[in-house]
Amino acid sequence: MKAASYLREDIRWAHSLLELVMQDVTPELAAWHPPGLANPIGATYAHAAVGEDVIVRQLLQGVEPLLGSSQKPVAWVLSALVISHLNNMTGEMSALKGVQGAKGYPW
């Protein structure tokens, strides 16, 4: 499998899992403030959407160097900053649903 195909599939999977976790999130679940330093589900979801948009737009438009340093390879940016980021935040949101008594991951 070519790297581009692999990355496209990873991005599809990350989005699919994110949406499966979010599909039954009520406004109450989204706004609930967990104890400690964790963010609410809604804030984390917004961070995922905006962060991915900014990263991909900067990369595709070449507006400025990524991470304020030298340009990173496209595969690294997509893998580290888009796919892994989405997966991490999906896990956080799933856990936050679980501590509120809702089903986290769909399985």
- In tens, the pLDDT along 30-84 reads 999 998 888 999 999 988 877 777 777 776 667 654 444 576 678 877 887 788 8
| Model pLDDT, residue 98 | 93
Say which residue the tokens 């499998």 belong to.
Answer: 1
Report the predicted TM-score, pTM, of the whole model to 2 decimal places. Answer: 0.64
> How far apart, in Å, are the Cα atoms of 33 and each of 28, 40, 54, 60, 84?
10, 5, 26, 35, 24
What pLDDT does 67 receive?
45
Q: CB–CB of 98/90 below 8 Å?
A: no
